[in-house]
Structure 1
Amino acid sequence: MPSTVLSGRSQRALLTRVAAAVIIVLGILGLSAGPAGAAPPPKPTIVLVHGAFADATGWRDVAATLRGQGYPVQTFDNPLRGPAHDSALLEKQLAGIKGPVVLVGHSYGGAVITNTHDPDVVANVYIAAFAPARGEFVQGLLNPVTFPGSRLLPPALQLKVVDDPTGPGGKNLDGYIAQPYFRDIFAQDVSVATAADMFAHQKSAALVANLEPSGDPSWRTVPSWYLVSRQDRVIPPALQRFMASRAAKGRTSEVDASHASLVSRPGAVAAVVLKAARASQR
């Protein structure tokens, strides 16, 4: 019996029919015929921004948890000079990061991320933080008539003159929390030893940083999350909920913690950051 030799055109037609049949079968089975091992969306880099009366060491446990989940993490050494100045420096750091970014701000750090505008930022996370609207400023938001409860007042809050190249004549007037009051106001739910370590790392904040009006808020266009600290003695919880209602748009959760929730409840803080990061990967 003579053998049948298919022409090149016939062979191509046969292969096309076989491939089509395979695709149909895979579709019925609910499988994908795409390339094997397709790369998942890149994980965003998480940038942690500390607030006043603290430094980046406060993020230590939160950062460790996030890195344990495979996320690249950076901290920002916040100068605490004012939202415009500090956000400009943060934007310079973000310019060196490839791919998407999740910004996390604690306390005054929230005012900084609010004034940071970078096209690669895919989410903001506010941790007991200021989330001002345009024209608002930190001290104005801490209005004791509208939102009573903050204990960040003299004699706990004290002032000192510091060397500062951004200030007039190379000097500036900074605020800080005096040692006898630090734990009770800032971190009443951490141990005495932990509070002492936090106090040793305290960075003073320029008084003008509390008085400088905010610019256009990034939370108007960037999906944002907010974690309220219910036992906060710096930013009253009612004020936090008010700011979260505008910025987070339903993405708000709460934790029984002091203002320093990133230190006393790092697991709860990391969980909110991970939620925002994973949502940005969809």
Structure 2
Amino acid sequence: MRLSTLLLPAALLASGAAHAQAAPEKPVIVLVHGAFAESASWEPVITRLEKDGYTVIAAANPLRSVASDGAAVSAVVKSIKGPVVLVGHSYGGPVITEAANGNPNIKALVYVAGFAPETGESSFSLSGKFPGSTLGDALTAVPLPDGGQDLYIQAARFQAQFAADVPAGQAAVMAATQRPITMKALQEPSGVAAWKTLPNYMIYGSADRNIPAAVMKFMAERAHARKTVEIPGGSHALMVSHPAEVTAMIEAAATAK
């Protein structure tokens, strides 16, 4: 047998290894839920991302304060070796904005019907920047031992307020499993606006009753979002009602050069 024939498999293996090393590493996708939701609300998006070969973590968001919630998500990011795309829904937007600071492995920020606050802004102040939010009238408060308040969306109003384009039965389950947020968290001023130095992407619904579309459009333009998508008739619960579009936006951020 000729020496060249013997060496051919080794050469092919070496070539394949070099090609594998040259292939870009897929970032880990960290999903951060917002107020009145929980980690499982990302399930339709997780299924699609994992099918496409992404590692996904649906982080638990304590919903206690921007600073402490951001620190909790930041700890998750620090445990990941390699690039990360941070995705925040609703109040999860301020949390990923905070969590990105000091973490050089963040590749991009994706805001899914989520606030992208400037330094000093709060979810509360941004939601009222333009008319259209009806959230205040739909809330109920539960007093906390420390004198604060936990806020919930009234179950009877949950679908219309939060998930108008989600089937009634599914919306009822979402209402029952919603996690409350403190008034403090909604009113707390944000810190450094990480979207100023990181690629950012925004997707939102035209019929969102929590964060008016005009607010989302304003934030996207201010942040010079690389890509902005408005879903006609979309509610606040886009990750449930429009998971394909949300997944496509996340993957656009993950694969961008």
- Correspondence for 2:139: 157
1:61 paired to 2:44:
yes
Secondary structure of 1:227's match?
A: strand
For residue 60 of structure 1, report the CA deviation from its aligned partner.
0.2
Pairing of 1:219-230 with structure 2 (within 5 A): 219-230=195-206
Residue 119, structure 1, aligned to residue 92, structure 2: no
Task: Give the 3 Å change call, closer, same or farther, for CA 35–43 of structure 1 in structure 2.
Answer: closer
Check 1:84–1:201 CA distance in 2 against 1; reply closer, same or farther (3 A cut): same
State the match for 2:119 in structure 1.
Answer: 134
Q: Does 1:268 align with 2:245?
A: yes
Determine the C-alpha separation between the residues in 1 that align with 2:162 and 2:180: 14
| Distance in structure 2 (CA, Å) of the matches to 1:35 and 1:104 | 32
SS, match of residue 115 in structure 1? helix
Q: 1:248 to 1:106 in 2, by over 3 A?
A: farther
Decide whether the 8 Å contact of 1:49 with 1:77 is kept in 2. Answer: yes
CA distance in 2, matches of 1:65, 1:175: 31
Alignment of 1:1-282 (within 5 A): 36-39=18-21, 40-116=23-99, 117=101, 118-143=103-128, 146-154=129-137, 156-162=138-144, 168=146, 172-256=148-232, 257-279=234-256, 282=257
Equivalent residue pairs, number: 239
Instruction: Report the alpha carbon displacement of residue 72 of structure 1 after superposing the two structures with TM.
Output: 0.4
Q: 1:107, CA displacement in angstroms?
A: 0.3
Shift of 1:34: 10
| AA matched with 2:220 | A
TM-score (normalizing by structure 1) = 0.82
Paired residue type of 1:123: A
Separation in 2 of the partners of 1:49 and 1:268? 17
Query: By how many angstroms is 1:35 displaced?
Result: 7.0
After TM superposition, the structure 1 stretch with the greater mean CA deviation from structure 2, 239-248 or 207-216, is 239-248
Structure 2: tracts of 5 or more residues without a match: 1-14
Contact 1:226 1:248 in 2 (8 A): no
Which residue is 1:29 aligned to?
Answer: none
Q: Is the 8 Å Cα contact of residues 139 and 153 (structure 2) preserved in structure 1?
A: yes
CA distance in 2, matches of 1:248, 1:110: 16
Listed one character per residue, the Cα deviations across residues 28-57 of structure 1 (whole Å, up to 9, x for unaligned) are xxxxx9975342111000000000000011
Over 3 Å counting, the alpha-carbon distance change for 1:37 and 1:81 in structure 2 is same
- The secondary structure found in structure 1 opposite 2:116 is coil
Of residues 98-107 and 34-43 in structure 1, the stretch that sits farther from structure 2 once superposed is 34-43
How far apart, CA to CA, are the structure 1 residues paired with 2:224 and 2:112?
Answer: 11
Question: 1:197 deviation in Å?
Answer: 1.2
| 2-structure distance, mates of 1:142, 1:37 | 48
Rounded Cα–Cα distance in structure 2 between residues aligned with 1:125 and 1:250: 10
Tell me, what secondary structure is at the counterpart of 1:249? Answer: coil
Asked if structure 1 preserves the Cα contact closer than 8 Å seen for 2:32 and 2:39, the reply is yes
Residues 250 and 95 of structure 1: CA distance in aligned 2, closer, same or farther (over 3 Å): closer
| Counterpart Cα distance in 2 of 1:275 and 1:242 | 21
Further displaced range: 77-86 or 34-43: 34-43
Q: Give me the CA root mean square deviation.
A: 1.5
Distance (whole Å) between structure 2 residues aligned to residue 100 and residue 159 of structure 1: 39
Q: Identity rate of aligned residues, in percent?
A: 45
User: Which residue in 2 is equivalent to 1:16?
Assistant: none
Tell me the amino acid that sits aligned with residue 180 of structure 1.
A
Structure 1 or 2: larger helix share?
2
Cα 1:43/1:255, change in 2 over 3 Å: same
Contact 2:204 2:238 in 1 (8 A): no
